[in-house]
Chains A and B, each alone.
Chain A
Amino acid sequence: DAGVTQSPTHLIKTRGQHVTLRCSPISGHKSVSWYQQVLGQGPQFIFQYYEKEERGRGNFPDRFSARQFPNYSSELNVNALLLGDSALYLCASSPDRVDYEQYFGPGTRLTVT
């Protein structure tokens, strides 16, 4: 079975632009979470979606938004990019809303110049 997939793998954007990152969970998984990992730090929780509804939100500005589609794939959108948004964006899926284990994708590395 395919694992969690994310696209694109790398992305370079300019300050002020908008970006959309995509994530496909493991087949049968209904929960998707997004994390931001700045270089040299641990991941920071951004969002969790379960059954197409937002179930959790971390301490991120409104420039960050996300949604989950009927097939449980998800998009993370970031508007008005700042240099500080440069990071590895990780997506994780799990079968249910609360699980012992989350399965992570390879991440999207975003560079804002």
Chain B
Amino acid sequence: AQKITQTQPGMFVQEKEAVTLDCTYDTSDQSYGLFWYKQPSSGEMIFLIYQGSYDEQNATEGRYSLNFQKARKSANLVISASQLGDSAMYFCAMRELMDSNYQLIWGAGTKLIIKP
């Protein structure tokens, strides 16, 4: 079963608009972590933001914020005032304890294209 679901394969957004990228997750653990990464065409994964399952406040990092709704098991990424350089693949990932070790489970990604 899918543990991380990103329902938007691709999105087009006008420059300077805000954009929300959806992520839902499935886990029975009480302690877990949620991540968003950006992957430009160069291939390197760039860490954007982290939310712990016990964090009461939504995480924010500059123009990035994470809309964490624990009961709905959703962790949407919000990018404010989008820029052309935001065009990339975006991945949601969950850190989960498996066989006494932590693993990152990844979604399939959303391709974001910012239009000038």
Residues of A bordering B, CB below 8 Å: 33, 35, 40-45, 48, 55-56, 58, 88, 90, 92, 97-98, 100-107, 109
Q: What CA separation (Å) do A40 and B95 show in the bound complex?
A: 21
Of B11-19, B37-45, B71-79, B80-88, the segment with at least 4 beta carbons within 8 Å of chain A is B37-45
Would B108 and A103 count as touching, CB distance under 8 A? no
Residues of B bordering A, CB below 8 Å: 4, 33, 35, 37, 42-47, 50, 52, 91, 93, 95, 98-99, 101-109
Number of A-B contacts (CB under 8 A): 58
Would A107 and B44 count as touching, CB distance under 8 A? yes
Q: Which residues of A contact B102 (CB under 8 A)?
A: 48, 56, 97-98
Would B98 and A56 count as touching, CB distance under 8 A? yes
Known A42-B91, A101-B50; contact A106-B108, beta-carbon cutoff 8 A: no
For B104, give its contact among A41, A55, A102 (CB under 8 Å). A102
Shortest Cβ distance from B18 into chain A, in angstroms?
Answer: 24
Q: Which residues of A contact B33 (CB under 8 A)?
A: 100
Q: What CA separation (Å) do A113 and B93 show in the bound complex?
A: 31
Known A100-B50, A101-B50; contact A48-B103, beta-carbon cutoff 8 A: yes
Known A42-B108, A101-B50; contact A56-B44, beta-carbon cutoff 8 A: no
Q: What CA separation (Å) do A40 and B6 show in the bound complex?
A: 13
Q: What CA separation (Å) do A55 and B99 show in the bound complex?
A: 9
Shortest Cβ distance from B92 into chain A, in angstroms?
Answer: 9
For B43, give its contact among A42, A55, A103, A109 (CB under 8 Å). A109
Shortest Cβ distance from A19 into chain B, in angstroms?
Answer: 18
Shortest Cβ distance from B31 into chain A, in angstroms?
Answer: 11
